[in-house]
Amino acid sequence: MGKKVYVDLTHPFSAEIPRWPYFDKPEITNAHTMAKGGVLTSKITCTMHTGTHCDAPRHVMEYEFDGRRARYTHEMPIDAYTGEAVVLKLDVEPWTLITDKHLDEACKKCGIDPASLKGKVLCLNTGMHRLFDDSKAYYHYSIGTGIDAGKWFVKHGVKCVAMDSQALDHPLHTAMGNNGMTRMNLLGATGKPITEEYKELFGEEAYAEFDKFEYIRIHGQAAYDEKFGELEDLGVWGTWEPCHKEMLGHGIVGVENLGGDLDRSSRARSSTSSASPCAGTWATAPCPAAWPSSTRTTWMPACPTAPTNTAAPATPMSPATATVVWSTCASCSTATSNATGLSSTHTVKRRALCPPLYVMSTPNGERT
**DSSP letter, residue 167:** -
Name the average pLDDT for the chain: 78
At 352 the pLDDT is 36
Which distant-in-sequence residues (6+ apart) come within 8 Å of 1 by Cβ?
A: none
What would the pLDDT profile of 140-196 be if each residue is shown by its tens digit? 999 999 999 999 999 999 999 999 999 999 999 999 999 999 999 999 999 999 999
37: enclosing H helix or E strand: helix 34-37
Nearest residue to 83 (alpha-carbon basis) of 56, 123, 119: 119
- CA 78 remoteness from chain centre: 26
Least confident of 199-208, 274-283, 338-347: 274-283
Mean pLDDT of 295-309: 32
DSSP 171-240: GGGSTTTT-STT----B-TTSSBHHHHHHHHH-HHHHGGG-HHHHHHHH-HHHHHHHHHHHHTTTS-TTS
Q: What is the pTM of this model?
A: 0.74
At 313 the pLDDT is 36
At 157 the pLDDT is 97
Which distant-in-sequence residues (6+ apart) come within 8 Å of 276 by Cβ?
A: 307
At 341 the pLDDT is 36
